Amino acid sequence: MAIVKPETIAFRLLNNALRTKKIAQVYLFYGGDTETKKDTAMAFLAGVISGSDTLPGAEDPLYQRLRNGSCADFYYLSGRDETLKTDQLQDLIRELQRTALESNGRKGYLIENINNSSEKVYNQILKFMEETPGESTFGVLISDHIDSLLPTIVSRCERIPFPKADKEELRELYLKDGFEDSDARLLSEITAVYRKRDLNDPAYLAARDLFETVLQQDSEVLPYYLNKDFFPRFGKEDRTVLTDALSLYASLLNQGILQDGAFLPETERRKICSLSQKEKEVYIESAQEVLRYLNSPLDLKLLMDHHAYTLLRKEV
């Protein structure tokens, strides 16, 4: 459980909304660690449904019910495993139209990774937000990349920024999850996407393997390598596995090169230090290009073909 810390802006804004009873219809949580945003959203909605004056803690009974799916007035959709579908949103709307069962008559919903939506779903969400009355229904949208959302959706939300995860705190969490110290240090430097996952998660292992091998490639053949050797491995995997692998690859590559591999094992660090400035620029642009479009609803195979074509046009 990772409810946001009391000293953060996010905690103060949410706690103040509950205390003053000035609660917006829809909130948008962005930035920071995905697990922290999700846990905080459930705690906040537990406070909204119960009429609490403060943000509930991890021991709160209603918060626990939201987490284990036993609260009839809370509805949860996740775009983490696959693209959000129109029928899922229609089911959510139907459920929210039912009479609330909790004593305060309030209902709450949470949509995680809203970025993973098609344009049709975006339009459905926008219409739903426009038509849903705020007296009894409250929602939280979670996004890792606010810039990729429709401005019309963002403008209708109360935006809550979350702080970046503390590296040492993440490192301790990874160690508790069974990662070796070298991997825990590495992951704490780059991303929180693998927190609470199994040590042998195939996407993590494949992405880590990619980073080690991609440094052995000449920058001229990097686009060919990505498309012919790495990305086809995930052609039959679900979108989450591929997206997580690409995210880890891009973060490893970008941070590793920008920091001259200071946090990497010795062999990888030596390789980074030996790169020319031109080669570093190509690698960094490769990572940035992947990160820029990573959470868009585009077909990922099409995206990587475009990415390779763009790189091939550059002079190295």
pLDDT in tens, 31-85: 877 788 999 999 999 999 999 999 999 899 999 999 998 898 899 988 766 677 8
Domain residue ranges in the chain: 9-162, 201-312
Residue of 165, 159, 113 lying closest to 4 (CA atoms): 165
pLDDT, one tens digit per residue, over 278-299 is: 888 877 777 776 666 655 555 6
pLDDT computed for residue 270 by the predictor: 81
Q: Is 224 left (phi over 0), alpha (psi -120 to 50) or beta?
A: alpha
Q: Which fold has domain 9-162?
A: Rossmann fold (3.40.50)
Instruction: Return the closest-CA partner of residue 194 out of 80, 40, 42.
Output: 80
Of 286, 279, 283, nearest to 306 by C-alpha is: 286
**280 DSSP 8-state letter:** H
More confident residue, 53 or 171: 53
Q: Give the highest mean pLDDT range of 7-21, 114-128, 182-196.
A: 7-21
Give 236 or 252, the one with higher predicted confidence. 252
Q: pLDDT, tens digit, for every residue of 255-267?
A: 777 777 776 767 7
Question: Which carries the bigger pLDDT value, residue 220 or residue 303?
Answer: 220
Name the pLDDT band for 218 (thresholds 50, 70, 90).
Answer: confident
* Whether residue 310 has pLDDT greater than 50: yes
Buried b (16+ CB within 10 A) or exposed e, 93-106: beebeeebebeeeb
The percentage of the chain sitting over the pLDDT mark of 90, rounded to a whole number, equals: 21
Residue type (1 letter), 50: S
Beta bridge partners of 84: 117
pLDDT of 28 higher than 80: yes
> Got the DSSP string for 104-144?
T--EEEEEE-TTSB-HHHHHHHHHHHHHS-TTTEEEEEEES
- Predicted confidence at residue 145, as pLDDT, reads 72
Token pair for residue 11?
Answer: 């905690």
On average, the pLDDT of the chain sits at: 78
Whether residue 315 has pLDDT greater than 50: no
The answer to whether 45 and 18 are in contact (CB under 8 A) is no
The Cα–Cα gap between 39 and 1 comes to 6
Q: What is the mean pLDDT of residues 22-28?
A: 93
38 vs 2: CA distance, rounded Å: 9
Alpha helices in the chain (DSSP H): 9-20, 34-50, 61-68, 86-96, 119-131, 151-155, 167-176, 181-190, 202-214, 222-225, 239-258, 266-274, 277-293, 300-312
| Mean per-residue pLDDT, 157-161 | 93
Q: Quick one: tokens of 92?
A: 């959510």
